[in-house]
């Protein structure tokens, strides 16, 4: 059975239809890429799955249970955590404290010392610089912030991690490291649904890809299938994507 099922999702914002009848599944253990032009509805879909928006119609089913319309903290406790396209943190808290919030939030009976251990562990796991654990988050650079928000998400111990543009703003070396990190997270047993703009990254890291355009799913398949899809080429890629070079 699929880990997550998105069924017939529709969402409009005062007349503007952001998603229409979107259907797809996320399989346990996969990295599913979600792509499409600006305004295609990718972040809206992440917001619906994570409970920030309620869809006008349609269902979200996680591990066989309908979660449509549940508040974000309940969805998080069930095992779905997300990162934000624009990194959101508590700027006056230090890095460790920010991750501690995640560690305490995900757990039903928050034991502080256990949560602290978990926060330190995930910060090491994402290669966050150990000498900056007590630096206020407002003083971190973008690469450090991206690691921090990954760590905070992982601290809640998700089954499904929703990533919205984690490599945006990173330099090529940092992006490469981020891709390695995403694979490591998957290999540790977390299923991943990720939105990403850079074709080379999404084609290289995804097991399957879903393509949205103006709120509609226009293609779904392996990176090669999607890259050769005529509608995807016309509406998004512009030209056939080359896997070489
Ligand atoms: N809270 C909101 N209120 C009004 N309109 C919204 C809201 N959120 C999204 N939209 C609109 O819905 C459409 C889809 O937006 P969304 O942010 O989901 O796109 P996206 O695929 O994530 O784009 P990008 O690649 O630029 O991040 C856009 O036209 C956007 O302006
Ligand atoms: Mg977006």
Portions of the chain given CATH number 3.40.50.300: 27-53+68-79+158-245
Topology of the domain covering 27-53+68-79+158-245: Rossmann fold (3.40.50)
186-225: pLDDT as tens digits? 999 999 999 998 888 999 999 999 999 999 999 999 999 9
Say if CB 72 and CB 115 are below 8 A apart.
Answer: no
Say if CB 154 and CB 122 are below 8 A apart.
Answer: yes
Max CA distance (Å), the chain: 54
Rounded to two decimals, the pTM is 0.94
Q: Is the CB of 213 under 6 A from ligand 1?
A: no
Q: Is the CB of 38 under 6 A from ligand 1?
A: yes
Counting ligand 1 atoms within 8 A of each CB, the residue from 15, 18, 49, 212 with the most, and so the one to mutate, is 18
pLDDT at 106 over 80: no
45-77: pLDDT as tens digits? 999 999 999 999 999 999 999 999 999 999 999
* C-alpha 2 to ligand 1 mean position (Å): 27
Instruction: Name the 3-class secondary structure at 94.
Output: strand
Q: What's the rounded mean pLDDT across residues 30-54?
A: 97
Read off the pLDDT band of 111 (50, 70, 90). Answer: confident
Closest CA to 76 of 42, 45, 52, 44: 52
Mean pLDDT over the full length of the chain: 93
Nearest-Å Rg of the Cα atoms of the chain is 18
* C-alpha 7 to ligand 1 mean position (Å): 20
Using CA positions, which residue lies closest to atom 17 of ligand 1? 43
Which pLDDT value is given to residue 108?
54
């Amino acid at each position: 059975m699929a880990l997550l099922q998105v069924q017939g999702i529709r969402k409009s914002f005062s007349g503007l239809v952001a998603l229409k009848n979107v259907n797809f599944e996320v399989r346990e253990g996969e990295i599913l890429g979600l792509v499409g032009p600006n305004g295609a509805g990718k972040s809206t879909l992440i917001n619906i799955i994570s409970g920030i928006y309620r869809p006008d119609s349609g269902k979200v089913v996680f591990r066989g249970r309908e979660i449509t319309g549940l508040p974000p903290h309940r969805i998080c406790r069930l095992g779905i955590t997300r990162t934000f396209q624009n990194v959101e943190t508590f700027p006056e808290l230090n890095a460790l404290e920010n991750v501690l919030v995640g560690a305490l939030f995900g757990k039903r009976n928050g034991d502080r010392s256990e949560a602290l251990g978990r926060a330190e562990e995930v910060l090491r796991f994402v290669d966050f610089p150990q000498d900056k654990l007590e630096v206020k988050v407002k003083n971190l650079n973008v690469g450090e912030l991206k690691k921090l928000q990954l760590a905070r998400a992982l601290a809640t111990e998700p089954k499904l991690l929703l990533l919205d543009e984690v490599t945006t703003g990173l330099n090529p070396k940092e992006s490469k490291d981020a891709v390695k990190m995403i694979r490591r997270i998957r290999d540790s047993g977390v299923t991943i649904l990720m939105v990403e703009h850079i074709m080379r990254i999404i084609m290289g890291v995804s097991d399957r890809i879903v393509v949205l355009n103006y709120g509609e799913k226009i293609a779904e398949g392996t990176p090669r299938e999607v890259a050769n899809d005529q509608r995807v080429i016309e509406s998004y890629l512009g030209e056939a994507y080359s896997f070489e070079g």
